[in-house]
Structure 1
Amino acid sequence: MKVEQNKKAIDETLEQICSHALFIHSNTHTRLLRYLVEKAILGEDLKEYTIGSDLFGIDYSIDKNNGTVRSYMYKLRKKVAAYYESAKPINDIVFHLEKGQYNLSFLSSKEYQSSINKEESYFKISKQTLLTATLSVAGSLLLFFIILHFSRKPNILWEPYFIKGANNLIVVSDQFTVTQKLEDGLRHAVLYGDINNNKDLLNYNQKHPDIHLKNTDYTIMSKMAPYGIKILTEWFISNQSSYNLQLESNLTYDDVRENNILFIGQYKTMNISNSLFLKNSKMFSTYRDGFKYANNNEEKIYNTRFKENGKLEYAMVSYKPIESGKMAFYFVSNNDIGVLATLRKFTDKDWLKGFEKQLPKNSKTFNALFEVSGLQRTDVSCELVELETFNN
C-alpha cells in the first residue's frame, strides 16, 4: 500500500483505534502505536534499541538486556489483533505488527486476510508438526530412560547390595599377632599360622608353656586390603551405594545378622566367617594353601604351585544367603593376588553378564573356583575352573 496517497486515511484509522476501549485507558500502548505509525510513514527501519532510547529513555549501557520494549511490543500486538477481531477496518487500511518484528506495516483488508489465513495455515501445520515432534521426542526419551535404567541396573548378584537403604558390611581379613620373648629379653611381634584369636593363643600357651606368647593390641593385613577396598569403593560409588567396614577379628554374629556381608582375604585368618564360608558346599573344602574338590568319585587338589614363569594359585568366590535374609559374598584366597583378580572380575559389568549365563535360571547361589596366575598384580590371568550351583 502506498503510504503517500493514504496519509489522511492512516491518521483516521489511528484515531479510530486509539479511541477504542482496548486503548483508551492504556496510555503506554497508545503512545507506542502512534510512534510506530509515525515511523512507518517516514519509512524508518526500527530496532529495539531505537524504540527504547527514543520513546522510553532507556539507557542500554546500564542494562543491554533490558526487556521493556519486547514486553510492550508483545502486548501491543495482542491488543491490535484483538481490535481487528471485534472491529472492521476503516478506509481499507489495517495496521499490522508481524511477530518478531518492530516495524508496523499498512495492509489492505485483502492483504491482511491473506496474511491471517497464511498464519492460521502455518499454525495448523506447526501444531501438527509440534505434536508429532513431541511424541517422537517423548518416545526417544522413554527409550533413553529405559536403556539408562537397565544399563544402570546392577547384575542380579549385586542387587541386594545396591538397593536403596541396604546395610552392607565389608569384612577384611586380618592376621592375629602375638609377641614372643626372645634371647635379648625384649618382646617381638611374631605371626603363627595356627593362632588366629585369643582361644587359639590360650591353647597354644597350654601346649607350649615355655614360650609365653602374649597377644598385641593390633593386627596386620596383606597388600590385598587397600587394593581390594579401592576396587570395591569405586564399584559401590558407581552403583550409588555405600558400605561399612569391619575387620574379621572384630566381626560379631550381630554384624552378620544385620548386614549383607562381603568378605575379602584369607580363609586361614577367618574366625566367625569360618562357620559360614563353604558351609553349603558338597564339593569344596579348604585344603592346605588352597582347596579340595570332590564330586562323586572324582577328587582334585588345587593348591598353590610355583612355575617357571610365576606362581599359580587359586581363589574361591562364594555367594550365598545367610540366616537373616541377607546375602554374603566371599572373595577368598591365601594369596592376595587371587582376591584382587576375582574382585576385578566381579566388578566388571561385561564379564558379569557372561558369568551369569553359566548359572542355571533357578540358581544364583554358587561356589566358584578360579585359577589365577601372573607375575604382577595388574597383569594376571583369572580363569574359572570349577563351579558348584544351588537351587534357590
Structure 2
Amino acid sequence: MKMNFDIKVVEASLEEICEHSLFLKSINYTRLLRYLVDKAIKNEDVKEFTIGYDLLSKNYLDDKNDGAVRSQMYKLRKKLTAYYADKSVQHDVIFEIKKGQYNLSFLSPKEFNQDNENGSSISIPLKKIKIAFLFLPILLIGFWSFVNFFNQPSSLWKNYFKSNSNNLVVISDQYVVMSEGLDGKSHATLFGNINSDADLINFKNKNKQGKFDNTDFTLMSKMAPYGTKILNDWFNKYNSNFALRLESTLTMDDIKNNNVVFIGQFKTMNISSALFLKDSHVFSIYKDGFIYKKDDKEKEYNTIFNSKSKIEYAMVSCKWLDSGKNSFYFVSNNDIGVLATLGLFTDNKWLSEFYERLPEKVIGFNALFEVSGLQRTNMGCKLVELEVLN
C-alpha cells in the first residue's frame, strides 16, 4: 500500500497515541502498535506467525493453536476504537486494523468517517432481538465462566495478580570497582566479595595500598532481559504488572511493601542474601551450587562441566510472608538455570502438577532443580530436592 502521509505526521500521531492514558501503561500494546506502524511505513506485509516470531520470540509455524497474537490484536483494535472515540483528541491520521487482518492502514479522518457511515446494515425482526437480549446475559455469564475456568493462574501466583497488588521484580547486578592496574591506569574490575558500597569501604580499609573507587554503573548478564521478558508476558496474561529494581539499589522497604520476584545469582546478592533460604532447614549455598543436608544424608549439588554437556543447579524459593506479601526467588549462578526454572513456573500445566505435590497448609517451599543439556539449553530441567515449609 502506498504511503499517502508524511512520515513525520504518522510518527507524531503514533507518539500521541502512546502517551494517551489508554496506552501509557500498556507496554505490550504500544510495542505491538509501533511494530505494525513501522511495517506499514515500510510497506511490509505482516502475518500472525511473523508477529509471534518478532515480538513473542516464538515461531507460530510450530504451534498453530497459539492464540496470543490474535488475542493481542483483538485488544489492540479495542484500544484504538476507544482512543478514536475520545472527542477531545484531534487526529491528523487514523491508524486502522480491519477485523481479521494484521496489516495496519493509514486513513484520513474523512476516509475513516466515510467507512463508518457506509458500513452495511442487517435488518433483524424486533421479536428476535428481544429474545436474543433475554438470553444474551446468560450466554455471556456462561462464556465468561468457561474462559475463567481454564485461564486461572496458579495459587502460587494469586497474590501477584490481585487488582491492588504491588509487585516488584528484582534483578541481580554485579558491583563494579575502579582499581589501579600495574600500568598505573584505572580499570573497571569485578570482585567476588564486593557487592555494595559498604563492602567496598571494608575492602579499602583492609587494602590501603591500592587505589579503589566506586562507579556509577553495574553489570548484568543476559538473564536480565530474557528473564524480564518471560515475567512480563506472564504478568500481562493476567492483566497485572510490576516495577523493576536492581539488587544494588534494593531496600528493606521495597521488600516489605511489595510482592517480590528475585531473578539472578546468589554470589551478587546484597540485601537479598539475608532473606534467601532464611527459613530452610536443609539447604545452604555451596561454591557454585547448593548443599542438601537432612538427618544423616548430605549431598553436594555443584555445577559440573564436561566436553558434551553442562549440569548446573537452580533454586526456586517461595514464601508467603506474615505481612500478606509473597516472595519468589529464582536463583542460579548461571543464566540458563534461572531461565529454565522461570519457564516452568510460568507454565500452568506444570504448575498444576507441582502444586498437587504440596500439602494443604504450607507457607512456602524450597525447590532444587537440575538443569542440563547440550550447548547450554534447558532441554533438561528436573526437580531433584523439595523442602516444604509449614
Report the TM range for the smaller structure's normalisation: 0.5 to 0.7
- Alpha-carbon separation, structure 2, partners of 1:197 and 1:323: 28
Given that 1:157 and 1:364 are in contact with CA atoms closer than 8 Å, whether structure 2 keeps it comes out as no
1:212 is matched with which residue? 211
- Alpha-carbon separation, structure 2, partners of 1:238 and 1:372: 26
2:285 is matched with which residue? 286
1:191 is matched with which residue? 190
CA gap 1:303/1:247 in 2 versus in 1, 3 angstroms: same
Q: Shift of residue 149 of structure 1? A: 1.5
CA gap 1:239/1:180 in 2 versus in 1, 3 angstroms: same
Given that 1:257 and 1:323 are in contact with CA atoms closer than 8 Å, whether structure 2 keeps it comes out as no
CA gap 1:66/1:267 in 2 versus in 1, 3 angstroms: closer
Moved more, 208-217 or 275-284: 208-217
- Alpha-carbon separation, structure 1, partners of 2:315 and 2:145: 35
Amino acid at match of 1:237: N
Given that 1:302 and 1:314 are in contact with CA atoms closer than 8 Å, whether structure 2 keeps it comes out as yes
- Alpha-carbon separation, structure 2, partners of 1:65 and 1:335: 57
**Does 2:202 correspond to 1:203?**
yes
2:3 is matched with which residue? none
Amino acid at match of 2:163: K
SS in 1 for 2:192: coil
Given that 1:174 and 1:219 are in contact with CA atoms closer than 8 Å, whether structure 2 keeps it comes out as yes
2:233 is matched with which residue? 234
1:251 is matched with which residue? 250
SS in 1 for 2:155: coil
Moved more, 376-385 or 139-148: 139-148
Amino acid at match of 2:230: I
Given that 2:172 and 2:263 are in contact with CA atoms closer than 8 Å, whether structure 1 keeps it comes out as yes
1:313 is matched with which residue? 312
1:350 is matched with which residue? 349
Runs of 5+ consecutive residues of structure 2 not aligned to the other structure: 1-116
- Alpha-carbon separation, structure 2, partners of 1:320 and 1:375: 33
**Does 2:336 correspond to 1:337?**
yes
Given the two structures, how large is their TM-score scaled by the length of structure 1? 0.64
2:172 is matched with which residue? 173
Identity of aligned residues (%): 51
SS in 2 for 1:226: helix
Runs of 5+ consecutive residues of structure 1 not aligned to the other structure: 1-62, 71-98, 101-122
Q: CA RMSD in A?
A: 2.8
Q: Shift of residue 215 of structure 1? A: 1.3
In our comparison, the structure showing a higher alpha carbon Rg is 1
Amino acid at match of 2:151: R
SS in 1 for 2:310: strand
Amino acid at match of 2:238: N
**Does 2:372 correspond to 1:373?**
yes
Amino acid at match of 2:287: R
Amino acid at match of 1:218: F
- Alpha-carbon separation, structure 2, partners of 1:349 and 1:66: 43
- Alpha-carbon separation, structure 1, partners of 2:237 and 2:279: 31
CA gap 1:289/1:379 in 2 versus in 1, 3 angstroms: closer
SS in 1 for 2:370: strand
Given that 2:223 and 2:264 are in contact with CA atoms closer than 8 Å, whether structure 1 keeps it comes out as yes
2:274 is matched with which residue? 275
2:144 is matched with which residue? 145
Q: Shift of residue 380 of structure 1? A: 2.7
CA gap 1:235/1:378 in 2 versus in 1, 3 angstroms: farther
The alignment of Structure 1 onto Structure 2 pairs a total of residues equal to 271
Q: Shift of residue 154 of structure 1? A: 0.9
1:303 is matched with which residue? 302
CA gap 1:194/1:343 in 2 versus in 1, 3 angstroms: same
2:69 is matched with which residue? none
Given that 1:248 and 1:271 are in contact with CA atoms closer than 8 Å, whether structure 2 keeps it comes out as yes
Given that 2:179 and 2:189 are in contact with CA atoms closer than 8 Å, whether structure 1 keeps it comes out as yes
2:386 is matched with which residue? 387
Q: Shift of residue 223 of structure 1? A: 0.9
Which deviations, in whole Å up to 9, do the C-alpha atoms of 1:348-380 show, x marking residues without a partner? 111111111111122251000000012345543
Given that 2:288 and 2:303 are in contact with CA atoms closer than 8 Å, whether structure 1 keeps it comes out as yes
Q: Shift of residue 66 of structure 1? A: 12
- Alpha-carbon separation, structure 2, partners of 1:65 and 1:369: 59
SS in 1 for 2:208: coil
Which deviations, in whole Å up to 9, do the C-alpha atoms of 1:84-134 show, x marking residues without a partner? xxxxxxxxxxxxxxx99xxxxxxxxxxxxxxxxxxxxxx9xx9xxx69x96
2:79 is matched with which residue? none
Given that 1:195 and 1:204 are in contact with CA atoms closer than 8 Å, whether structure 2 keeps it comes out as yes
1:50 is matched with which residue? none
Given the two structures, how large is their TM-score scaled by the length of structure 2? 0.64
SS in 2 for 1:157: helix
- Alpha-carbon separation, structure 1, partners of 2:247 and 2:256: 15
- Alpha-carbon separation, structure 2, partners of 1:246 and 1:253: 12
